[in-house]
């Protein structure tokens, strides 16, 4: 990176163990990484709507927690990128582990009796979450967090592919769309990390409106937020289909996908 072009702002010197490729306090004195901050809206607003809709449909609370978990990640990431403070970094990274554990539980328990609770996987996921938290608080190594998060995502990918290959093949388009969008975000995240110096240099010569497009960490938020949201819809589709409900995909404002489930079971 090239810290010489970073500026000082409202939140003072960064204390986080990570400082991303976006130049600090360029757009706003009050927001350290403006584009990395506002891009989190995609992880906040749609999941809140999804949680409300899921509650209205009377579905199991685990799916409400899934949507709210994604929204919590978005709020934590907003606070982290706005301040670049270590405490806010934890508010971003640890909910990533917790919310993905909820995703894992939902997907691995999707073929169980309605409103059933399996305590063994809950205990395993709790032990995993607590262990990661304790280790990460003591060993402030971001790569450790990234590996643990990646392991959870790998569990989701394997389970999803198994279900759409052997159980509900008609859900393959949604599954692979979710996975593809998430992987695109991961690719851009890596490009942002590896080629940061070149990206920062290019922004000095490009018009501001064009330079914004090179904020690949912000694109990571957008694509992984959308991919995670679609994954929750996939999980809901699988669960509601197994319970013999009638899920219907509708598009909010003709653009954003939402899932509405009729409570009446098929005869």
CB 145 within 8 A of CB 151: no
Report how far apart, in Å, the C-alpha atoms of 242 and of each of 109, 116, 163, 257 are: 11, 14, 12, 21
Three-class SS of residue 256? strand
Residue 28 tokens, joined: 């706003």
8 annotated among ligand-binding-site residues: no
**Does residue 33 have a known ligand-binding role?**
yes
Q: Which tokens sit at 216?
A: 């690949």
- For residue 2, give the nearest of 199, 142, 143 by alpha carbon: 199
Q: Give residue for tokens 């000082």.
A: 8
- 219 labeled binding residue: no
Residue among 2, 139, 22 at smallest CA distance from 77: 22
User: Which candidate, 193, 221, 201, places its Cα nearest to that of 36?
Assistant: 221
81 annotated among ligand-binding-site residues: yes
| Pairing, β 256-262 against β 246-252 | antiparallel
Which of 26, 44, 46, 47 is closest to 35 using CA atoms?
26
Q: Is the dihedral of CA 176, 157, 103, 92 positive or negative?
A: negative
22 annotated among ligand-binding-site residues: yes
Residues annotated within the binding site are: 19-20, 22, 24, 33, 81, 217, 221
Residues annotated within the binding site for Ca(2+) are: 19-20, 22, 24, 33
Residues annotated within the binding site for Zn(2+) are: 81, 217, 221
């Amino acid at each position: 990176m090239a810290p010489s072009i970073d500026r000082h702002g409202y939140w003072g010197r960064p204390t986080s163990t990570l400082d991303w490729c976006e130049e600090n306090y360029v757009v706003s004195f009050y927001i350290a990484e403006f584009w990395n901050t506002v891009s989190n809206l995609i992880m906040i607003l749609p999941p809140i709507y999804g949680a409300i809709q899921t509650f209205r449909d009377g579905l199991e609370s685990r799916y409400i927690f899934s949507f709210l978990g994604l929204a919590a990640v978005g709020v934590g990431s907003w606070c982290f990128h706005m301040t670049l403070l270590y405490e806010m970094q934890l508010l971003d990274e640890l909910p990533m582990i917790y919310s993905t554990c909820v995703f894992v539980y939902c997907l691995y328990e999707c073929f169980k009796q309605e409103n059933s609770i399996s305590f063994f996987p809950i205990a395993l996921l709790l032990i995993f979450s607590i262990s990661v938290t304790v280790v990460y608080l003591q060993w402030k190594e971001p790569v450790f967090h990234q590996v643990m998060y990646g392991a959870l995502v790998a569990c989701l990918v394997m389970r999803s592919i198994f279900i759409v290959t052997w159980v509900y093949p008609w859900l393959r388009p949604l599954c692979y769309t979710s996975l593809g969008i998430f992987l695109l975000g991961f690719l851009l995240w890596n490009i942002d990390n590896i080629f940061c110096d070149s990206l920062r240099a290019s922004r000095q010569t490009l018009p501001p409106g064009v330079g914004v497009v090179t904020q690949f960490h912000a694109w990571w938020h957008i694509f992984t937020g959308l991919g995670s949201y679609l994954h929750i819809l996939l999980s809901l589709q699988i669960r509601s289909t197994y319970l013999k409900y009638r899920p219907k995909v509708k598009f909010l404002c003709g653009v954003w996908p939402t899932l509405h489930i009729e409570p009446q079971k098929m005869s």
